[in-house]
Structure formats: C-alpha cells, structure tokens
Chain A
C-alpha cells in the first residue's frame, strides 16, 4: 500500500429509526465509540474531529467530545445539507491526506423522527396585512405552492419527470417499482428504520405526497448516527494484521457543487454535479462503472434513484429505464443498487446518511454483510446529494491482502 493512501480503519452506524430515549449526542457518542472500537484505536489517537449535524442547534463536535473524550484536538462542525456526512468524512480525509494528522474521525448524526415535510421554507414572507415587496424576488406574499414547489418530494418528483420527458419510458408504475426493490432489499437489513416488503399495489395506493411519489417512495425521516475513523497507508502498515485485513481503501473521495446551468435555479439540477463527481471519482480511483460490485446512491425519492443510475454512469446516457427494467439493480443483478434498503426504507437521518452509506459498502467489502452480503464484493461506490447543492462520491476497495 502507498504511504499516502487513505483507509477507513473503523466504521459504525447505529440502528436507524425512532430513538425517543436518546438525544443527538447519545446517538453520536454511540456511533463514535463503536467506530473507535471497530478501528482498535481511541480518542487519544485522533488528530481531528469533523462532525455533522443540521437540526441540533450547532456545536455538535464539542458536545460530542465532552461525552467521548476531550483531548483538545481541532473540531470542524460541518453543515452541507444532505451531503453533511460525506462532507465530514471528506474533511477528516483531507487532514490525513495533508499529512497534518495520522488519524481522523468523522461523525454524522440527526434526530429527525416525526419531522414531516422538509423544504417548504422558501417563502419570502408571511401573508401580511399590507403588501410590500421583499426578498430577491420582490414577493408580496409567500411563493411556495403559488409559484411551483420547493418541497423536497415535489422537487425530486419533477426531476424524475424531467428525465422521463427527455428520454421517455417512465411512468408512475416504473418509479413505484424502484421503491418496491428498495423495500424488498430492506427486509435483510436489521438496522433499517422500515424492514417490511411492500407490494407494488401497496406502494402505488399509499398516500400520495407529490405525484408520482407516494409516501413509501419518499425517504423516511428518522433518527440515527454513523461514524468513521480514517488513517493513511503509512500508519496502517504499523498496525496489526487484523486491522490491515479489515481496513477499506478510500480510492476516491470527491465533493462537488453545481456549476451554473440554464434552469438550475428554477429546478435544482442534481444531474450535472453528480455526473461531475462521478467522473472525477472514477478517474481518481482508476476504476470504471463496470468494476463496481455494489452502489449505495441517494434515493431520497424513487424518482431520484432513476436519474442517478444515469448520472453515476451505471448505464449509457438515457438508459436508466432500460437498466432498471433489466433487473440489474436488484441485489441479485449485475450492479446491485441500495441493498441496504436505501433512504426509502433504511431511512434518512440527514447528516448520518453520507457516512451510513459508506458503512454499508464497507460491510460488504469486508465480507461482513450477513444475510445481505453481496458475494465477493471488491469495489463499491457511495453517493449522496444535498440540495443547494452538494454532491459527495466515495469509491471504496477491499484490502488487497
């Protein structure tokens, strides 16, 4: 192994779901202590802590230190929408890569159970008694719902519909069948928030949120945390054979934002920045999409999963419908996608998601996937996207030895 390669030494995700008896710091501490134990190191070894949380009021990193070990190391509290976890991990990786520290710790945590509809905050102002233009659109009243929608289910519904308009072949039923796949996958994941298989009829006849996304086709708001310890090749060489065997190589760690495109500020363009991140990641890792044994991608809505098949280049441009129809993305297919159950059933505690999806891939690459193990998995990709926008792509590889 090269001295400056980056390795995940230990990683953990908590059970996703409702944790009424635990606060945000409890969940972060649980993930952190388990990741340190998995790595065989302690807080005293860590040179940096990057901590992500959006809903807890700020300063999660320092609050966490007080429960797991106040060693005086620098803390970076990061916030990057749904890409927060991936951004925390990337922050720790950059510190190790720069040679400033031997070990970095990244944590993402969220308490989101029962949070309801997200994204409806685009209103310029409340309905007032006297109309006065305000904000950058000079609005005299709230615009969300009056000039399109900024709610997440509606935005991502349009993103899927736009793909259908461009290439054809999509339908309500097609998007529902993507959800059917992920809910079927979740039955093998005891850490998922929801582990029930759902029939196509059940999915299509459930509560409509934003056509064509019904409730089970939307990511599940829940509580959860995930944490990872990273180190470099030079340090890993000094560790035990068992630590070296279980270490997972980070072959690519990429973060992008959306470059300006016509329409990107009318409907968020989640495609260009994902494609850019994937292109850079494949180049950095020296692998191609055909080399991937599994993918965890950001299915915040069933409509989103379809477009990311294309954006991550798992198919030819315009070929996402055909790829899904071929069965390739089921767990017994050519390129299994979201064998964890995805955000639609595993759940989406926002800041934890970008590390939890990496935990899932690591589990398979270590051969520790239990009932849902993808046999002989050697290379995997984890993707997250947060609107605004930010996209994280990590490519992970099994240790050679």
Chain B
C-alpha cells in the first residue's frame, strides 16, 4: 500500500491538516493519547474535538544533544492553541533565538518524516511562524 499515514493518530491529514484531542465529556479535559479514564475527573467517556491550527509559542528550547538519528539542532516547544497546550517542534525557520521568540504566533505545518518499504509516507507536524 502506498500513500500517507500520520506520524501519530491525533494528526488528521487531508486538505486541511489539523490535530484532534480526546475531550472528556464530563469536565472537558483534553488528551492526545488513549486514555482509560479522565485523569481529572475519572469519567470514562471522551469525544474527539478539533484543535485550532494557530497558536502562541509559550515555551521552547533549542535541542543540541539528542538520541541517535535525530537531527540537531531542532526547536522543541509548547504552543498554546487557544487554551489547549500542544507539544511540537518549531519548523521552517532557523533554529536560533533570533528567529524563535516566546509569544510569537505560529501555525500548524506538516512535513514528510520518512517512507517505509511499502512506499507509504509518514507525515509529521510542527509549527511555523506566521
């Protein structure tokens, strides 16, 4: 099978790539990973919600030492997408403090992570300056 798969299951590909979260139907807490029950209120029902694709850079680091196979330097960050915090890299801009600033506005962008032996492309996401 050729085609594309998302790097993680909370990235929705297509014409309008975006992230989804599992939102607790009781308290509204949001999780990107599979949950047995809500860490905040113990409810075990969730509904998927779309996460805004733009946000504000709330924290970042420029990683120069990483596990083998990870290209450095890269910018790891936390982006506040209208009240939902998202972990992701800052991409499509030089990885230095002159180009990456706390509080700057960013938007979701996708890129090819790799291709498997079936010809399937894995698509990852990051955030780029607006």
Interface, chain A (partner B; CB < 8 A): 117, 120, 123, 127-131, 133, 136-149, 151, 153-154, 157-159, 161-162, 164-165, 172, 207-213, 260, 262-263, 265-267
- B109 within 8 A of partner (CB): no
Going nearest first, the 3 A-B pairs with the smallest beta carbon separation are A138-B9, A145-B70, A263-B85
B76–A130 contact, CB under 8 A?
no
B64–A211 contact, CB under 8 A?
yes
Q: Could you jot down 7 A-B contacts, CB within 8 Å?
A: A117-B67, A140-B6, A146-B7, A147-B87, A148-B78, A210-B65, A262-B84
Chain B, residue nearest A133 (CB): B9
- B117 within 8 A of partner (CB): yes
Task: Tell me which residues across on chain A come within 8 A of B32, comparing CB atoms.
Answer: 137, 265-266
A288 to B17, CA, bound (A): 51
Query: In the complex, which of the residues A164, A172, A211, A267 contacts B85, with contact meaning CB atoms closer than 8 Å?
Result: A267
- B118 within 8 A of partner (CB): yes
A130–B77 contact, CB under 8 A?
no
Residues 71-86 of B, flagged 1 when their CB comes within 8 A of A and 0 if not, give 1011011100001111
B113–A141 contact, CB under 8 A?
yes
Chain B, residue nearest A162 (CB): B59
Nearest-Cβ distance from residue B12 to partner chain A, whole angstroms: 12
A262 to B128, CA, bound (A): 23
Task: Tell me which residues across on chain A come within 8 A of B103, comparing CB atoms.
Answer: 165
Given A148-B78, A260-B29, A211-B61 contact (CB < 8 Å)? yes
Task: Tell me which residues across on chain A come within 8 A of B89, comparing CB atoms.
Answer: 145-148
B58–A162 contact, CB under 8 A?
yes
Nearest-Cβ distance from residue A226 to partner chain B, whole angstroms: 28
Task: Tell me which residues across on chain B come within 8 A of A127, comparing CB atoms.
Answer: 69, 114
Chain B, residue nearest A121 (CB): B67
Q: How large is the interface on B (under 10, 10 to 19, 20 to 34, 35 or more residues)?
A: 35 or more
- B97 within 8 A of partner (CB): yes
Nearest-Cβ distance from residue B22 to partner chain A, whole angstroms: 10
B64–A210 contact, CB under 8 A?
yes
B78–A267 contact, CB under 8 A?
yes
Query: In the complex, which of the residues A140, A151, A159, A265 contacts B63, with contact meaning CB atoms closer than 8 Å?
Result: A151
Task: Tell me which residues across on chain B come within 8 A of A137, comparing CB atoms.
Answer: 8-10, 32-34
Given A138-B10, A141-B122, A130-B64 contact (CB < 8 Å)? no
A265 to B78, CA, bound (A): 11
Nearest-Cβ distance from residue B64 to partner chain A, whole angstroms: 5
A131–B122 contact, CB under 8 A?
yes
Task: Tell me which residues across on chain A come within 8 A of B70, comparing CB atoms.
Answer: 144-146
- B49 within 8 A of partner (CB): no
A143–B8 contact, CB under 8 A?
yes
A210–B61 contact, CB under 8 A?
yes
Nearest-Cβ distance from residue B117 to partner chain A, whole angstroms: 5
A236 to B87, CA, bound (A): 52
Chain B, residue nearest A138 (CB): B9
B59–A159 contact, CB under 8 A?
yes
Query: In the complex, which of the residues B33, B39, B59, B117 contacts A158, with contact meaning CB atoms closer than 8 Å?
Result: B59
Most chain B CB atoms below 10 A, which of A133, A147, A164, A207: A147
A211 to B114, CA, bound (A): 27
B9–A210 contact, CB under 8 A?
no
A129–B124 contact, CB under 8 A?
no
A281 to B46, CA, bound (A): 37
A147 to B120, CA, bound (A): 20
Nearest-Cβ distance from residue A122 to partner chain B, whole angstroms: 9
Nearest-Cβ distance from residue A151 to partner chain B, whole angstroms: 6
Task: Tell me which residues across on chain A come within 8 A of B67, comparing CB atoms.
Answer: 117, 120, 123, 142, 144-145, 151
A165–B59 contact, CB under 8 A?
yes
8 extra interface residue pairs, beta carbon distance < 8 Å, beyond A139-B7, A147-B125, A210-B62? A117-B65, A137-B32, A139-B9, A144-B70, A145-B67, A147-B124, A154-B63, A165-B102
Chain B, residue nearest A258 (CB): B39
B64–A208 contact, CB under 8 A?
yes
B33–A148 contact, CB under 8 A?
no
Query: In the complex, which of the residues B76, B85, B113, B116 contacts A128, with contact meaning CB atoms closer than 8 Å?
Result: B116
Chain A, residue nearest B32 (CB): A137
A162 to B79, CA, bound (A): 11
Task: Tell me which residues across on chain A come within 8 A of B39, comparing CB atoms.
Answer: 260, 265
Nearest-Cβ distance from residue B30 to partner chain A, whole angstroms: 8
A147 to B88, CA, bound (A): 4
A141 to B62, CA, bound (A): 22
A125 to B6, CA, bound (A): 15
B77–A158 contact, CB under 8 A?
yes
A210 to B73, CA, bound (A): 9
B62–A162 contact, CB under 8 A?
no
